Amino acid sequence: MAGFRVVVTDQVFPDVEVERALIEQAGGTLEVASGDRTDVLALARDADALLNTYFPLSAADLAGLSRCRIIARYGIGVDNIDLVAARMRGIAVTNVPDYCVEEVALHTVALLLATVRRVPAGDALVRAGGWGVGGLGEIHRLSTRTVGLLGYGRIARLVADVLRPLVRQVLVHDPYLAGAGPDRSVELAELYAESDIVSVHCPLTDKTRGMIDAAALAAMRPDVTVVNTSRGPIVVLADLLDALRSGQVGAAALDVFDAEPPPAAALDKVPNLLVTPHSAFYSLEAIGESQRKATGQVLAALRGEPLAYQVT
């Protein structure tokens, strides 16, 4: 194991000192890739392991890795890696599914509450010299609202725990779970028809990509609020923006987008839209946990030890 090389394909955290210390203590070296795709793949070619965030790795990319035994994602989703190709080449893929559950759940609740209470509109009104509630539009008591959760993993369950005492009811649609605990599990059509707020918490797959499109929005309640802190491509942005402009959708709050950053011009002057820069995962504690756990998976794989977070 001594002398092994680990390459960070795309550094998004402020530094990699946590990873470097752990890897060097185990007798390895850490290198951070830079440049274009060709440069990154050239550096990764003979690495024993990759630490990865957003950098896409296709079947062709994986075929060019001569020594790689593991690709450890810092985040939760693994849709940027060809899992079938990795499995065929004997490359383990791991994620860190539990590092930012609190952060994303509370960011979701913050976006939801800010949107329902029209906080951004109130801020803009006062800054423009206005006052009073007349310019805010209709605001409903939260306890009269039904929240529908698309997906019921760790994050969604914490969102439900926080909101349950505050809202009328929480509905859940997740075809991969047998039940929804204290919340009511429903079919997708029922969730759309009954929810005043629809919050997205499902992974990005072939089935979920683009599932919140014009047809889905039309099936939702008039004046629905849509929140997405999961994966950008699940929501067809152009359809959502059109629905906001027409008033079919009452409000939306987005932390993730198909293209990141999204085109600023597309978002300009869209009513009742609240956006944040894919920051729901972020806290100093969450980043440190992700770095430690992802690096721990690399070291375990190279030692031949069981992997706690193996996806494939």
List active site positions.
231, 260, 278
- Token pair, residue 174, equals 């997740």
Neighbouring residues of 129: CB distance < 8 A, sequence distance ≥ 6? none
Distance CA 76, CA 306 (A): 19
For 114, phi then psi, to 5°, come to -60, -35
Q: Is residue 17 within a helix (H) or strand (E), and if so which, with residue range?
A: helix 17-25
Distance CA 64, CA 47 (A): 11
Q: Which of 234, 229, 273, 286 is nearest to 104 (CA)?
A: 229
Query: Torsion angle, CA of 288/289/292/295, rounded to 10 degrees?
Result: -110
- Put residue 303 in one of left, alpha, beta given phi > 0 → left and psi -120 to 50 → alpha: alpha
Give the SS3 label for residue 198.
Answer: strand
Q: At what angle do helices 119-127 and 101-116 cross, to 10 degrees?
A: 60
Angle (CA) 290-294-297 rounded to 5° is: 145
